[in-house]
């Protein structure tokens, strides 16, 4: 079976061409349709790769003018949205995923206020646990805006986590990250097998696509978790 081409594959191939000066600084990049035909993937996959390169300052995109290699790339510290499974497997640990609950409904008041959406907005709420060598690694408490990602309605998330599915299937144009050293909530401590007074790293993330919120997630990481960024 032919392996599916992901946006990461396209992004890597484009970076290789830029590094080799096949596409020199200032050079225009072929259009999405041409690149999709060349790489044998969907146009949306190419668009996602171009978005990633634009956010990192490697290329410049202008509406109706196309994309070109940045003449003076902006070097910025950036945070990526990692696939937790890959993060764990890269460390040489055995990954296991457990879906704890999945509920479809409407946005609770606090979420509607947080995302500036109507309380009537359809929402999918998924809670799950990621484990490394059968030790709790990360608790994922995820809320998905079904108006923004209607395809998520048909996903059970029993075998594939919302984290991994969204990274592959839900593009975003902007994101907000927040981090805090805190104590886990009672339910979070129980799920992760932690003491109630144990210090953990909690992170929250909101992503948007063209001004519409895509997802809000709270993640509780086991003690000692580190986040690494690079220039």
pLDDT recorded at residue 80: 65
Predicted pLDDT of residue 2: 59
- Taking alpha carbons only, the member of 163, 177, 83 closest to residue 127 is 163
Beta bridge partners of 230: 78
CATH fit for domain 7-69, picks 1.10.1200.30, 2.60.290.11, 1.10.10.10, 3.40.50.2300: 1.10.10.10
Residue 66: what pLDDT? Answer: 85
Looking at residue 78, the DSSP 8-state letter turns out to be B
For the cut 90, the answer to whether the pLDDT of residue 65 exceeds it is no
User: Which position has the token pair 């059968």?
Assistant: 134
User: Rounded to an integer, what distance in angstroms lies between the CA atom of residue 130 and that of residue 164?
Assistant: 11
d(CA 116, CA 131): 33
Q: What predicted TM-score, i.e. pTM, was given to this entire model?
A: 0.68
Give the tokens for residue 100: 């704890």
Range in 1-15, 81-95, 113-127, 170-184 the model is least confident about: 1-15
Arch. (CATH architecture) of 84-221: 3-Layer(aba) Sandwich (3.40)
pLDDT at 4: 82
**68: closest CA among 80, 76, 60?**
60
Torsion (CA) 140, 141, 147, 150 in degrees, nearest 10: 50
What tens digit of pLDDT does each residue of 24-58 get?
888 999 999 999 999 999 999 999 999 888 887 88
- Report residue 230's pLDDT band, with 50, 70 and 90 as the boundaries: low
- Asked if 187 and 163 count as a contact pair (C-beta separation under 8 A), the reply is no
Q: For residues 178 and 48, give the distance between their C-alpha atoms in angstroms, rounded to a whole number.
A: 23
Q: Where are the domains of the chain?
A: 7-69, 84-221
If one counts every other C-beta atom within 10 angstroms of the C-beta of residue 134, the result is: 9
Has residue 229 got a pLDDT over 70?
no
Residues in the chain: 231
Q: What is the mean pLDDT of residues 100-116?
A: 97
């Amino acid at each position: 079976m032919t392996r599916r081409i992901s946006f990461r594959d396209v992004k890597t191939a484009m970076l290789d061409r830029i590094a080799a000066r096949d596409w020199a600084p200032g050079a225009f990049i072929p259009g999405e349709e041409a690149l999709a035909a060349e790489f044998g993937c969907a146009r949306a996959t190419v668009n996602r790769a171009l978005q990633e390169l634009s956010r990192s300052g490697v290329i410049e995109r202008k509406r109706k003018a196309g994309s070109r290699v940045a003449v003076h790339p902006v070097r910025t510290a950036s945070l990526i949205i990692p696939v937790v499974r890959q993060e764990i497997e890269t460390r040489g640990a055995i990954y296991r995923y457990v879906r704890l609950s999945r509920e479809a409904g409407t946005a609770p008041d606090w979420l509607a206020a947080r995302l500036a959406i109507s309380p009537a907005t359809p929402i999918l709420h998924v809670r799950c646990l990621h484990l490394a060598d059968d030790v709790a690694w990360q608790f994922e408490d995820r809320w998905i805006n079904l108006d923004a990602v209607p395809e998520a309605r048909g996903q059970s998330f029993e075998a594939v986590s919302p984290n991994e599915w969204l990274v592959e299937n839900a593009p975003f144009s902007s994101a907000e990250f927040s981090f805090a050293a805190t104590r886990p909530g009672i339910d979070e401590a129980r799920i992760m097998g932690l003491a109630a007074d144990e210090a953990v790293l909690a992170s929250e993330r909101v992503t948007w696509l063209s001004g519409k919120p895509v997802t809000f997630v709270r993640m509780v990481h086991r003690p000692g978790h580190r986040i690494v960024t690079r220039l």
